[in-house]
Chain A
Amino acid sequence: MALALALVLAIITAVSVALLSMHVWWFPIDIAVHGPQIDRQFSITFVIMGILFVAAQLGLAYLVWKYRGRDDGRKALYLLGRNKLELIWVIAAATLFIGLEFVGFHAWAQMQYAAPQPGALRIEVWGEQFAWYFRYPGPDGRFGPIHPALVDDAMGNYLGLDRDHDPASKDDIVTATLGIPANTPIELILRSKDVIHSFFVPELRLKQDLVPGMEIPVHFTVTNQALKADGGQYEIACAQLCGLGHYRMRAFLQVMSKSNFRKWLQQQAAMQ
């Protein structure tokens, strides 16, 4: 029984480590400038946790095997503890765990504390049950006011804009695809019409809830890498339970070259 348990522990450890190290299932490519440092933080954590995982599981296997009760009259040790050891591993664990947070601090600070670059392209992201809409401010650079009473999905006024009376709304462009140019700082302003949603693009290494009543900014820049894969098209998945259509609330991030983006935006403007 002891041998079986020790072996099974060892096999589970080996199979898990193998599947993860071989990246059989793993992160998709990085298309954002901030992506690699997140991946680096993950790798550091993965190596450390991997070592601890292997040490603990194999250690447990060893203890089960070595100290299994046999008919040899051996008595167990009457050992109440070792205060010095307790102190050592408290300090070691605390240093390691809290240290990891500080190693990754820069990645968090750059995403969340730092402001977007001045002149970033601002795009509003709107979530509703169960669709995404994206609003570009148009040439005037201003987003027009929102009038919830004017929302009429059937007539195509998804956001409640009053283009007739609000000058800032006249040139707003509302699209169903999030088109962005590569190599350009982007600032997304996340808003919701109804319940909490969440904007998640795995390749972007970005996830942020859309909370009704709030306007939550996130910022990033995508690299040229983004243009190469999949025709520059990436799925946007909702990552916060929002109702029965949560699984199918999906849109696309379309990364384009700067010139293609300008053309695309003009086409979208013409369709308003």
Chain B
Amino acid sequence: MPEAHQDIAQRRGFLRKYVFSADHKVIGLQYYFLALFAVLVAMVLSWLMRMHLAWPNLPIPLLGKLSPVGAPGGLMTPEYYLSLLTIHGTLMIFFVLTVALQFGFGNFLLPLQIGAREMAFPRLNRLSFWITFVALGVLLSTFFVSDGPPISGWTAYPPLSGVGPIAGPGEGMGQNLWVIAIVLFCLAAILGSVNFVVTTLTLRARGMTMMRMPLTCWAWFLTAVLTILSFAVLIAACILLMMDRLAGTSFFIPSGLAISGFLLHRGGGSPLLWQHLFWFFGHPEVYITILPAMAVISHILSCFSRKPVFGYRAMVYSQMAIGIMSFAVWGHHMFTSGMNPYTGFAFALLTMAIAVPSAVKTFNWMGTLWGGRLRLDTPMLFAIGFVSVFVTGGLSGLFLSQPPLDVYLHATYFLVAHFHIVMGMAVMFAIFAATYFWFPKMFGRRMNETLGKVHFWFTFVGAYAVFMPMHFLGLEGNPRRYFALTDYFLKPLIPLHQFITVAALMMGAAQFLFIFNFFWSLCMGPRASENPWEVTSLEWTVASPPPPGNFAGSAPRIYRGAYEYSVPGAVRDFIMQDSPEGEQGMPEIVQHR
């Protein structure tokens, strides 16, 4: 049968093989390239914002030509700045951080790592990708409607987002299209996640128990569960918002509003309801972005330390604890919102509790390094960098989770620093680590190590140079989402803003080293063998790139867990998961799996 399968694959045209494919590997790469495109767009938007904050009177001629209404003469209007901010956040959180590791790498690797030929529902998978693609198109189309993209931030709080154009430019068609894009994205993500859950539960190869799975598989599985539960709530919230905008309802609109001289003749709703619904989604969402990242890092630290993951079971239980508790902490985004302060304190305690499993994971990463034999190749550099930045970002969270401190720090640059460090730095580092690590498997070629290391150094130092100073701005009280720093107490902070902008532009420029390395290696990199990094998991038992059907011949049989490095008495310093070495007569060297 495998021969007939290959025959059929070859006879397919280009479109069926590479564009409208139902092969999980093709779909994974499609998601990855979608995320790559989105991150480049979002990064350019951030450069524009930073340049404006540092040098508000410096015209950007190209911008003036591209957006004559938003940036006449190359100088952006306040509403244009806010629309850049909105699209930057929306692109990054949804189309980059949620997509890259979960739907990009997850789709490519999950079947391979569990020993399956394909995902459970390949055609549903294909549909999920193309809906995501359309969602991205709808989001970017907001730049081309007359009033521009919405100005309400990725959080879209009503009434600002709920009443239409009287609230400001971009609040007309732009906001409608944003809501549609988000709903489409969420639908696609839920469909894709169903695939992950069913595949993990039903298609594992013989001997691949849940507790023998790589931590990445656990993360993709748990993240998929979180996605299904939380994205459904965002869809509901968006439907209510759309009805307020278009159907005259008042879910989020209170009575008696007078906006820009217009009296609204409807009401009875609550703006806080949106916040509860949004953050009920929004908090699990950030753990949806970090759980796969943490698992990738565990996987890479283990391989490049030539040591098992320290505390595999604790890591699995921590992932579960983080996942479950992520639904109980959303109110920490709302300490100053007007929510009941008693409820606020309850959320504060739960937030401190969710920091505990994250701390456990950090200790276990250190434990994995301890006593290891470290190979400092590029994936490992980014993995170590991840531990550093995750600690930094996590610790700043412990300030924000205390309501009496959050009263000052909320909605300042201290918060901007915190979430950029945990998402923009930590998750992004995991995406880089994963790319350098799995590039040989995905494309059959090696990336250039020297360029990779240079890229790491610029990114690591650059990221701290950009985001550490933002804590200082926050301590001075610098509010976020400000178009200009004209208040008396903000003017002295402009030099620090300029430093941040210069660092950001330099770090941004360094990313082109990565882009160049990626595409050059794609075409001209040296060919990769099956297992260039000497990893134990199943994707490294097949060719680079893997053939259609993944495991030519019979399905793999699994004998051990995923982190058997430096096993005493073993022939090499790693044992593949499908290797029966040690099974015949040698002492049992695998502990109670």
* Contacts A63-B366, A81-B314, A247-B78 given; does A194 touch B257 at CB 8 Å: yes
B-contacting residues, A121-144, CB 8 Å: 128-129
* Contacts A76-B565, A98-B353, A129-B259 given; does A213 touch B151 at CB 8 Å: no
CB B371 to nearest CB in A, in angstroms, measures: 4
Bound CA–CA A207/B401 (angstroms): 15
A-contacting residues, B363-409, CB 8 Å: 363-364, 366-367, 369-376, 381, 384, 387-388, 391-392, 395-396, 398-399, 401-405, 407-408
Bound CA–CA A200/B489 (angstroms): 12
The reply to whether B160 and A196 contact each other, CB–CB distance below 8 Å, is yes
* Contacts A80-B308, A100-B402, A247-B486 given; does A212 touch B337 at CB 8 Å: no
* Contacts A74-B373, A81-B313, A211-B271 given; does A238 touch B159 at CB 8 Å: no
Question: What is the number of residues of chain A that contact chain B, defined by CB distance less than 8 Å?
Answer: 98
User: Of A16, A198, A207, A241, which is within 8 A of B82 by CB?
Assistant: A241
The reply to whether B160 and A241 contact each other, CB–CB distance below 8 Å, is yes
The reply to whether B267 and A205 contact each other, CB–CB distance below 8 Å, is no
CB B212 to nearest CB in A, in angstroms, measures: 13
- Nearest chain A residue, comparing its CB with the CB of B484: A247
User: Of B271, B314, B485, which is within 8 A of A86 by CB?
Assistant: B314
Residues of B at under 8 Å CB distance from A?
77-79, 82, 151-153, 157-160, 167-169, 254-261, 263, 267, 269-272, 305-308, 310-314, 336-338, 341-342, 344-345, 348-349, 352-353, 355-356, 359-360, 362-364, 366-367, 369-376, 381, 384, 387-388, 391-392, 395-396, 398-399, 401-405, 407-408, 410-412, 453, 460-461, 464, 468, 471-473, 475-477, 479, 481-489, 493, 496, 565-568, 573, 591
Bound CA–CA A151/B262 (angstroms): 9
Return chain A residues, CB-CB under 8 Å to B307. 76-79
Query: Which residue, of B153, B306, B391, B402, has the highest number of chain A Cβ atoms within 10 A?
Result: B402
The reply to whether B376 and A5 contact each other, CB–CB distance below 8 Å, is yes
CB A147 to nearest CB in B, in angstroms, measures: 9
The reply to whether B255 and A9 contact each other, CB–CB distance below 8 Å, is no
The reply to whether B407 and A75 contact each other, CB–CB distance below 8 Å, is no
- Nearest chain B residue, comparing its CB with the CB of A242: B160
The reply to whether A45 and B399 contact each other, CB–CB distance below 8 Å, is yes
The reply to whether B257 and A205 contact each other, CB–CB distance below 8 Å, is no
Return chain A residues, CB-CB under 8 Å to B408. 27, 38, 42, 202, 205, 207
Q: Does A250 interact with chain B (Cβ within 8 Å)? A: yes
Query: Which residue, of A59, A75, A146, has the highest number of chain B Cβ atoms within 10 A?
Result: A75
Bound CA–CA A196/B311 (angstroms): 46
Q: Does A19 interact with chain B (Cβ within 8 Å)? A: yes
Return chain A residues, CB-CB under 8 Å to B573. 75-76
CB B407 to nearest CB in A, in angstroms, measures: 5
The reply to whether A89 and B363 contact each other, CB–CB distance below 8 Å, is yes
The reply to whether B337 and A209 contact each other, CB–CB distance below 8 Å, is yes
Bound CA–CA A60/B372 (angstroms): 13
Q: Does A161 interact with chain B (Cβ within 8 Å)? A: no
Bound CA–CA A11/B567 (angstroms): 36
Closest 10 CB pairs of A and B: A213-B254, A202-B477, A77-B371, A25-B472, A112-B341, A81-B311, A107-B404, A97-B352, A247-B482, A76-B566
The reply to whether A148 and B257 contact each other, CB–CB distance below 8 Å, is yes
* Contacts A77-B566, A212-B271, A245-B78 given; does A5 touch B477 at CB 8 Å: no
The reply to whether A239 and B160 contact each other, CB–CB distance below 8 Å, is no
Return chain B residues, CB-CB under 8 Å to A214. 254, 272, 338
* Contacts A60-B387, A242-B160, A247-B483 given; does A202 touch B489 at CB 8 Å: yes
B-contacting residues, A20-61, CB 8 Å: 20, 24-28, 37-38, 41-42, 45-46, 49, 52-53, 56-57, 59-60
